Amino acid sequence: MTRTVTIGAAAAVCAAAAAALYLGAIPRANPFAGPATAAAAAESGAAIYYQDPDGKPFYSLGPKKAPDGRPWRAVPAGADVSFDEPEEQPAETKGAAKTERKVKYYRNPMGLPDTSPVPKKDSMGMDYIPVYEGEDTDDGSIKLSSGKIQRTGVKSEAVVKRPVTSLIRAPGTVQEDERRVSVVALRFEGFVESVANVTTGDHVHKGQPLLNVYSPALSSAAAEYLSAINAGATGKELKGARRRLENLATPEPAIKELERTREISLSVPWLAPQDGEILERNAVPGMRAGPGEVLFKIADHRLLWVLIDVAERDLPQIAVGTKVTIRPRALAGQSFEGSVALIYPHLNATTRTARIRIEVPNRDELLRPEMYVDAEIEAGTPGPVLTVAESAVLDSGSRQAVLVDKGEGRFEPREVKLGRRGGGFVEITNGLSEGEAVVTSANFLIDAESNLKAALKGFAESNSMPPEAPPGGSGARP
């Protein structure tokens, strides 16, 4: 009876059969001797081929000598390399007659979806491979011999709980904190009589005199307040006169000096509103200054911003308050600690990145605005979660699975749901329990053989007709 196989299914089966060949599921033939020759050589102990006397990978079907006259080494059948090994027997059965295993069915040696209840050969004369009871299961698992496990390098690790941390790296630049920048300007029209001996780049302290200002409006307000004091005014009248001076941003020390001396000064010293470095100095002695004109600009650099751009995919791992390590490129070997203060609400449509603002203390003022830095953000789970090694996950894009080590050479593919990744581990949100063992090495080979078994079983089940029997009755070889 002819079986129909779709092109996609046949390709999957052939690929899986190649992996099964590597695992030893399909026996390998000797490349130098035919079946009859090899069998005869095995019985007689005669050489089946010859190898270079130095062990080099050179072979000959007949006797041969090396350039120095040494004969090539004869290789008998018993010394030929074979990847098929007999199953190990328990100690109590050694020396006793081997119990014959029961064949469940025979499968196509090339991995095609064809099985037979009796021995048979395919169109190329190859024997069908027997599948014994216990080797094939209904739970989708695959069983390998200890020799195959050792040859393929299968390794398993337990599923444990641990924190999953990842390091997000991004370049950035140092910027001034906009909240720590101020200007010195007048609220009235006046004249700059003198300027202190400070200039751009100098550090000034809050309350330090920067310039002396004369203004008719300021003198008029001071005279009104002094008149109210001398007249013994109290209550709202006195407060109103003082409030007029305050509305002109008159420094508090100048008002107290007026109250103490009862004299109106021709010029009033104007003070620095905060600690910081002078970014701009526009005041010049003798100049006329209008309302709002910037005379000094001062910035406090004891707290700075670092602006970085992170990829859109990394945003879910970052939150306000996340700790960040800043490494300035100009200060080799030095690092600064900061925290995420703001995640800007808009993405850059061109680069698909989001801007992150990091606040970094700069007490020694080693950081300077416009410096290039490298930021490292420690992101991860808040506590221990169920994890496996990333190498344990078989990810096809739409399906993620692992191979659970059931012991005694049996492996079960199981679909899982993944969470965060980091540090070589991935979070398992569904599908595994703590303490189970999963394969972390050579799992793709086991998965390939498992897919082969699933394909064979699927085709066998989809065929409602019984397998065709060979000519001559049941149990006879064709």
Would you list the DSSP string of 227-261? HHHHTT--THHHHHHHHHHHHTT--HHHHHHHHHH
Residues 3 and 146 in one domain: yes
By C-alpha distance, which of 80, 81, 88, 82 is closest to 145?
Answer: 88
Residues 233 and 352 in one domain: no
Mean pLDDT along residues 184-212: 96
Strands, sheet with 294-299, edge to edge from the N-terminal-most edge strand: 181-185, 294-299, 276-281, 203-204
Q: Residue 125: pLDDT above 70? A: yes
Residue 27's pLDDT is 42
Q: Which of 263, 291, 319 is the last residue of a domain?
A: 291
Percent of the chain whose pLDDT exceeds 90: 40
Q: Residue 461: pLDDT above 60? A: no
Report yes or no on 182 lying in a domain: no
Write out pLDDT tens, residues 73-99: 887 765 554 444 444 444 444 444 455
Residues 11 and 99 in one domain: yes
Residue 78's pLDDT is 58
Mean pLDDT along residues 360-384: 90
Q: Residue 134: pLDDT above 50? A: yes
CA distance 415 to 367: 50
- Which residues, listed in sequence order, are joined to residue 415 by a DSSP beta bridge? 401
Report yes or no on 473 lying in a domain: yes
Residues 103 and 141 in one domain: yes
> Could you give phi then psi for residue 69, rounded to 5 degrees?
95, -5
Residue 346's pLDDT is 93
> Could you give phi then psi for residue 355, rounded to 5 degrees?
-90, 135
Residues 260 and 195 in one domain: yes
pTM for this structure? 0.58
Residue 153's pLDDT is 79
CATH number at residue 238: 2.40.50.100
Report yes or no on 296 lying in a domain: no
Report yes or no on 68 lying in a domain: yes
Q: Which two tokens stand for residue 102?
A: 């029961």
Q: Which of 266, 291, 316 is the last residue of a domain?
A: 291
Q: Which two tokens stand for residue 464?
A: 């409602």
| Average per-residue pLDDT for the chain | 79
CA distance 387 to 299: 48
Residue 441's pLDDT is 84
Residue 453's pLDDT is 61
> Could you give phi then psi for residue 360, rounded to 5 degrees?
-125, 120
Window from 82-86, 362-366, 384-388 with minimum mean pLDDT: 82-86
Q: Residue 276: pLDDT above 50? A: yes
* Structural domain count, the chain: 5
267 confidence band (pLDDT: 50, 70, 90): very high
Concatenated DSSP letters for 89-138?
A: PPGGGTTSPPPPPPEEEEE-TT--S-EESS--B-TTSPBPEEEEBTTB-S
Write out pLDDT tens, residues 430-446: 889 888 989 888 766 66
CB 180 within 8 A of CB 303: yes
CA distance 386 to 390: 13
Strands, sheet with 115-116, edge to edge from the N-terminal-most edge strand: 115-116, 103-107, 129-132
Q: How many helices (H) and strands (E) does the chain have?
A: 7, 30
By C-alpha distance, which of 191, 376, 204, 145 is closest to 285?
Answer: 191
Q: Residue 410: pLDDT above 60? A: yes
CA distance 420 to 322: 16
Report yes or no on 132 lying in a domain: yes
Residues 263 and 325 in one domain: no
Report yes or no on 52 lying in a domain: yes
Mean pLDDT along residues 114-131: 82
Residues 423 and 390 in one domain: yes
Residues 77 and 110 in one domain: no
**Which sign, positive or negative, has the C-alpha torsion 55, 56, 57, 58?**
negative
Q: Which of 49, 81, 113 is the last residue of a domain?
A: 81
Residue 18's pLDDT is 45
Q: Look at the chain and count its residues.
A: 478
Q: What distances in angstroms separate CA 186 from CA 39, 130, 182, 449, one per listed residue?
A: 109, 99, 13, 84
Residues 111 and 49 in one domain: no
Mean pLDDT along residues 174-199: 96
Report yes or no on 247 lying in a domain: yes
User: DSSP 3-state assignment of 219?
Assistant: helix
Return the beta strands (E) in 381-423 as ranges.
385-389, 394-395, 400-407, 410-415, 417-422
Residues 172 and 312 in one domain: yes
CA distance 308 to 46: 75
CATH number at residue 435: 2.40.420.20
Residues 59 and 93 in one domain: no
247: burial class by Cβ within 10 Å (0-12, 13-18, 19+)? exposed
Residue 26's pLDDT is 41
Q: Helices in 376-462 by DSSP H: which ranges? A: 443-462
Residues 150 and 212 in one domain: no
Report yes or no on 99 lying in a domain: yes
Q: What is the dihedral of CA 204, 206, 209, 210, to 10 degrees?
A: 50
CA distance 420 to 381: 8
- Which residues, listed in sequence order, are joined to residue 353 by a DSSP beta bridge? 311, 348
**Which sign, positive or negative, has the C-alpha torsion 48, 50, 53, 56?**
negative
Domain range for 310: 167-177+301-380
